[in-house]
Amino acid sequence: MPYLLYLTAAVFIIGSLYRLIRIIRMPVHLRWELYPVPHEPPSKVRYGGSFMEESDWWLKARSTNKLGALGVMLPEIFLLKVVWERNRLLWIWSFLMHWGLYLFTAALGLTLVGSLIELAGTPVASEGAVGITALLFTLIKITSWAAGITGAAGCIGMLLLRIFSLRMRPFTSFATILNLILILLLFGSGLIAYSQGPQTFKWLFDLSKSAISFKAAPPVFGFAGVHFITIAIFGIYFPFTHMTHMFVKYFTYHRVRWDDKPMSAGSVREQHIINSLKQPVTWAAPHIRGDGKKNWIDIVSAKGDEVA
Amino acid sequence: MPKSLKVSDISHPVEQLAQVRPDELMPLPPPYDKIEEQPGWKEISPAQRQKYEASLDGVVAVGVPIPATAEEEDRLVEGFLSGLKKLLTKENNWTFLQQLMLSIDHCARCQNCIETCPIYVSSGYNDIYRPTFRSDLFRRLVSKYIKPGGKYFGELKQGAIELNWRTVSRLLELAYRCTLCRRCAHACPIGLGNALITHELRKLFSMEFGYSPKEIHDKGSMLQLKVGSSTGMNRLAVMDNVEFIDEDMSDLTGLSVKSVWDKEGADVLLIHNAGEFISWPENPGAFALILEAAGISWTLSSELAGYDGINYGLWYDDAQFARVALLHAQAAKKLKVKKIVIGECGHAHKALTVIADRILTGDLSVPRESALVLLREIVMSGKLKLDPSRNDFPITLHDPCNMVRLMGIVEPQREILRKIAPKFREMEPHGVYNYCCGGGSGFAIMSPFNFQDWRLSVSGRMKLKQIVEAFADCPGPETPKYLCAPCSNCKGQIRDLFRYYGVWEKQRILYGGLVELIVNAMVDIKEPFIKWEFH
């Protein structure tokens, strides 16, 4: 079992990093902002205004609100605000499913912390746990149950919507259904495993401890093993799906929608752009005739007959 | 014809995939609520159908010829795939690659955005105009035909799709059923948008095939690059034209108006959309009068494209876009002006200020500012003597998407209106959540085949509804009303909308720019500047 845990962790981390690095390494693009941009001063965010409303803005120090983004991202991540505003039926199920995943992640995190504490010598899930560490183990159990209930309910609702809603069904692929089924299996197997009794949590906790300490894993405890395998499958599958929007959101918002930074002469960004302009072009239309030798500067500087 | 369209239907050999029916369109408020009184719809003739692609929705915007042979069909498909691959390379598409890849890989297909689209809603929720239809189709094609393993897993991942010549030619038409207003992006919980994919599709067709609407390319950006303006005016013609405008303005206002050309070292280089000189000469005339009266050091440029701020490449072609932006920057650099001020034209604003920002490197990066900002400075400075009672009629404001949602220039125009227009009222929704005029992304200048009927019946429908509702307290022709639309393309679309539905006759709503209202309020002008004549 620990080997599967190592494999899951490795694929999850490497797969996610690969996707992140691919995005980060993409060339500096042209601006494509959309207002409101939350790092503008609150007085402007209120109606969606920008620094470009100011006369001679390039001569003035720019006032920004670094915390403004949090005011948008937190309600978006934790309350799914935009979905709430537009589609309440979808929101109910999506909200439950997302909170199931958040709580599940929290339970995993607490298990990891608890394992480290216990490995350091203070009982958490073992006999003798008292006070705050015992409370920690109780919290893991409560969080896991809450994750299972909300997540499974959310998944069932989402699946029904995807299958029966005329609004969504034509835009639902096999992969979308598969994603939901996997998440449902994750939560469903969890609920069955938890209902076996507290030994399930103890087994999962001990598995975590053994993986951290590179020691032999405890013998599989009933359905908890199945639950663990669904966790592993989901973890391995996750980086290759659109569910990576969990962290890609940073780029879609901060690097595109809110990236309003004007070009400044002599900046690193300007040098990146100059390098991009020197790349060969192969677009074939008559007014471009990119032959793989001409670069963007050649194409843009073309005059008269060169522009067909 | 399928009642409920599936994305995979795009490749099916049916005569027409979707139909726009007048009785299914979003109802309009009175006095435009009677279907039998609404303007007719020009049908594409059988001869035209045989020659041009019209099988998407019976509307033709681009007019791409139908392939005559199997070889031509293959060439269309191969060219599309070649272009699609280029669109996903950093060499050919560094300009928008990151946005595009994020949009391809991370959409949750939640459909949260669909009702934000005025075209989809106005059409009566016709599936072909669902903003996600086009995006989903694009993702399926990338997934199946471009991504590694796509042949085996592409359809499982994104959904069924078949690429044939019909898919390509219909997709080209479909790329011109979205105004790129980006309203849908506000509703995306992941931060994506459908307009970006529309934009990239248009680029693929233009930059790989040379396919784009003639009004935008041949008569648009190409003409501008060759002659200096998409109006066809060369420098002598435009200087002549402006001289007449100055004379007319002087006669009309009793003030001496003299536009300045090629003044080196001026504080401001003013670049208008040159369409104003021809269609709405009172607008550049009013600008000249205001700048002179305020004592601004300003000039116009007679350099190639220096007197026409349009940049149609913004909507369909990066190369054309960059070529025109370069000419604008070079004109400013040559005159050594302190800043470029862009007249009342939304797409010119965004093109030169935002989209061109990162490609104008080194000394080409001349500061750019919106005319609305400069006008606010002038109006609030007290340099002009203004009497708001001269604008004592109901006024509402249209927010051009490019200036407002996509640049965040929201308040300057409102501050001016609050000062000079006592009966100013907002439309709903307004500001960054406004609706497009329906003429965005080039539609306002496109009228081939029956496309004009479509843009006035469908894409402009929501705006007409908004305008009428903004004046619900004074609907009849006995009260003259003014729609302030500080954008040339929007004005073009609104002019056509008003003619199509007889708005001037039925409701006496006049449309025009912001500067006209400022001049109308100037106490130094003897006669009212606004003439209440529809044109």
Cα–Cα–Cα angle for B452, B455, B457, rounded to 5 degrees: 100
Residue B187 is nearest to which of A82, A94, A270, comparing CB atoms? A82
* Antiparallel, parallel or unpaired: β B481-484 and B424-425: unpaired
DSSP helix/strand/coil, A13: helix
Task: Break chain B down into helix, strand, coil percent, rounded to 5.
Answer: 50, 5, 45
What's the mean pLDDT when you consider all of chain B? 96
The C-alpha of B395 sits at a distance from chain A's nearest C-alpha, in angstroms, of 20
Tokens of B484: 């302030």
Nearest Cα to B27, choosing from B116, B120, B122? B122
- Cβ contacts of A34 on chain B, cutoff 8 Å: 182, 185-186, 193, 405-406
Calpha distance B117→B120 (Å, rounded): 5
DSSP helix/strand/coil, B530: coil
Residue B225 is nearest to which of A57, A87, A307, comparing CB atoms? A307
Bridge partners of B370, per DSSP, are: B342
The C-alpha of A224 sits at a distance from chain B's nearest C-alpha, in angstroms, of 30
Which of A25, A35, A164 has the highest number of chain B CBs within 10 A, making it the mutation to test binding with B?
A35
* Antiparallel, parallel or unpaired: β B298-299 and B268-271: parallel
The pLDDT tens digits for B305-356 are: 999 999 999 999 999 999 999 999 999 999 999 999 999 999 999 999 999 9
pLDDT at B1: 40
Mean pLDDT per 10-residue section of chain A, whose length is 308 residues: 88 96 96 98 97 97 92 96 96 98 97 95 88 94 97 98 94 96 97 93 94 89 92 95 92 97 93 97 96 96 73
Residue type, A178: L
Q: What is the ipTM of this complex?
A: 0.96
Calpha distance B381→B492 (Å, rounded): 32
Judge whether residue B3 has pLDDT over 60: no
Cα–Cα–Cα angle for B73, B76, B82, rounded to 5 degrees: 140
Average pLDDT over residues B41-66: 95
Task: Break chain A down into helix, strand, coil percent, rounded to 5.
Answer: 70, 0, 30
Residue B112 is nearest to which of A27, A53, A83, comparing CB atoms? A83
- Cβ contacts of B210 on chain A, cutoff 8 Å: 285-287
- Cβ contacts of B111 on chain A, cutoff 8 Å: 87, 90, 167-168, 171
The C-alpha of A5 sits at a distance from chain B's nearest C-alpha, in angstroms, of 26
Residue B409 is nearest to which of A37, A52, A304, comparing CB atoms? A52
pLDDT at A126: 87
Which of B181, B407, B433 has the highest number of chain A CBs within 10 A, making it the mutation to test binding with A?
B407
Tell if the CB–CB gap between A29 and B96 is shorter than 8 Å.
yes
Contact of B87 with chain A, judged by CB distance below 8 Å, is answered with no
Contact of B200 with chain A, judged by CB distance below 8 Å, is answered with no
Specify burial of residue B267 (Cβ count, 10 A radius: 0-12, 13-18, 19+): middle
Tokens of B83: 């272009």
The share of chain B scoring above pLDDT 90, in percent, equals 97
For chains A and B, CB pairs below 8 A equal 261
Average pLDDT over residues B118-127: 97
Bridge partners of B522, per DSSP, are: B386
Residues making up chain B, counted from first to last: 535
Domains of chain B, by residue range, sit at: 7-209, 217-376, 385-520
Interface of B with A in 202-261 (CB under 8 A): 206-210, 217, 222, 225-226
The C-alpha of B37 sits at a distance from chain A's nearest C-alpha, in angstroms, of 33
Helices (H) then strands (E): counts for chain A? 12, 0
The pLDDT tens digits for A171-225 are: 999 999 999 999 999 999 999 999 999 899 999 999 999 999 998 888 888 899 9
pLDDT at B326: 97
**Predicted TM-score (pTM) of this structure:** 0.96
pLDDT at B2: 42
Q: Are A230 and A185 in contact (CB under 8 A)?
A: yes
Bridge partners of B340, per DSSP, are: B269, B368
Residue linked to tokens 């496109």 = B446
Q: Are B191 and B282 in contact (CB under 8 A)?
A: no
- Cβ contacts of A287 on chain B, cutoff 8 Å: 210, 217, 222, 317, 319-320
Judge whether residue B386 has pLDDT over 90: yes
The pLDDT tens digits for B389-447 are: 999 999 999 999 999 999 999 999 999 999 999 999 999 999 999 999 999 999 999 99
Calpha distance B385→B415 (Å, rounded): 16
Calpha distance A129→A122 (Å, rounded): 7
pLDDT at A308: 64
Tell if the CB–CB gap between A52 and B408 is shorter than 8 Å.
yes
Interface of B with A in 360-379 (CB under 8 A): 360-363, 365, 367, 369-370, 373-374, 376-377
Tell if the CB–CB gap between A48 and B186 is shorter than 8 Å.
no
More confident residue, B277 or A304: B277
The C-alpha of B9 sits at a distance from chain A's nearest C-alpha, in angstroms, of 11
Average pLDDT over residues B351-378: 97
- Cβ contacts of A253 on chain B, cutoff 8 Å: 191
